[in-house]
Chain A
Amino acid sequence: EIVLTQSPGTLSLSPGERVTLSCRASQSVDSSYLAWYQQKPGQAPRLLIYGASSRATGIPDRFSGSGSGTDFTLTITRLEPEDFAVYYCQQYGSSPYAFGQGTKLEIK
């Protein structure tokens, strides 16, 4: 069973800044089957990135994903006010599908 560890737990940043979130897997994720989701309070998660680096439909290009094997990152180039949320990574290369514990992005 693959365990995903996200870091840091919380980040305090200002709009306009660039941020990189980390997701590390306990073993290699097959074929980069890694996704990123954004969740705002009281809302369902929204798919941002799949296949480690492909943006989902309608996702702005300030969001980008990269990585392979056990180390993956989500980068937001210029933070907008609506980007402050919790971000989860998830692997879907093997069962059970697993999520990281989340990184909370808060306004400084």
Chain B
Amino acid sequence: QLQLQESGPGLVKPSDTLSLTCTVSGGSITSGRSFWGWIRQPPGKGLEWIGSSSYRGNIYYNATLKSRITISADTSENQFSLKMSSVTAADTAVYYCTRLRYEDVWGIPRGAFDIWGQGTMVTVSS
């Protein structure tokens, strides 16, 4: 059974770079029809897609965040990661790593997020 687990600092200073890693267990990130990515949820608020990447490096970002984020996959470690630069208090949120199981690709991979990590709270504060 495929499982995802986020790891990384829970506290980041304003203007610094947030770095998170998601470890995939029970399966491989090279498995077919899968994109790996991140979704966040500010306290008490809704869900925001950040970006998703295939293991080959085909990456799709939310345009509102694109200038600040990098998503990459490491097949040797069966992990993928998120880096978000120049963080502010508005980036305080629970960050979830996710698998997108796509039905087709038409401009973007089109599929629902069928597997989620448990989430990790990241607070941006000095």
A46: B residues at CB distance < 8 A: 116
Q: How far is the CA of A45 from the CA of B48 in the complex (A)?
A: 12
A99: B residues at CB distance < 8 A: 46-49
Q: Using CB atoms, name the residue of chain B closest to A36.
A: B112
B49: A residues at CB distance < 8 A: 96-99
Q: How far is the CA of A44 from the CA of B47 in the complex (A)?
A: 11
**Shortest CB–CB separation between residue A105 and chain B, in angstroms?**
15
A56, CB-defined interface residue at 8 Å: yes
Docked-complex contact A50 and B107, CB < 8 angstroms: no
Q: How far is the CA of A90 from the CA of B114 in the complex (A)?
A: 12
Given A44-B119, A51-B103, the answer on whether A96 and B64 have CB atoms closer than 8 Å is yes
Docked-complex contact A88 and B60, CB < 8 angstroms: no
B117, CB-defined interface residue at 8 Å: yes
A101, CB-defined interface residue at 8 Å: yes
Which of A47, A51, A94 is the one whose CB lies under 8 Å from B113?
A: A47
Which of A35, A43, A98, A102 is the one whose CB lies under 8 Å from B112?
A: A35
Docked-complex contact B116 and A96, CB < 8 angstroms: no
Docked-complex contact B117 and A50, CB < 8 angstroms: no
Docked-complex contact B47 and A92, CB < 8 angstroms: no
Given A92-B111, A99-B46, A99-B49, the answer on whether A45 and B64 have CB atoms closer than 8 Å is no
B108, CB-defined interface residue at 8 Å: yes
A35: B residues at CB distance < 8 A: 112-113
A12, CB-defined interface residue at 8 Å: no
**Shortest CB–CB separation between residue A95 and chain B, in angstroms?**
5
Q: How far is the CA of A88 from the CA of B49 in the complex (A)?
A: 13
**Shortest CB–CB separation between residue B57 and chain A, in angstroms?**
18
A95: B residues at CB distance < 8 A: 60, 62-63, 107-108
Q: Which residues of A contact B (CB under 8 A)?
A: 30-31, 33, 35, 37, 43-47, 50-51, 56-57, 88, 90, 92-102
Q: Which residues of B contact A (CB under 8 A)?
A: 46-49, 60, 62-64, 96, 100, 103, 106-108, 110-114, 116-119
Enumerate 6 A-B pairs (CB-CB under 8 Å) in ascending A order: A43-B118, A45-B47, A45-B96, A47-B112, A95-B60, A95-B62
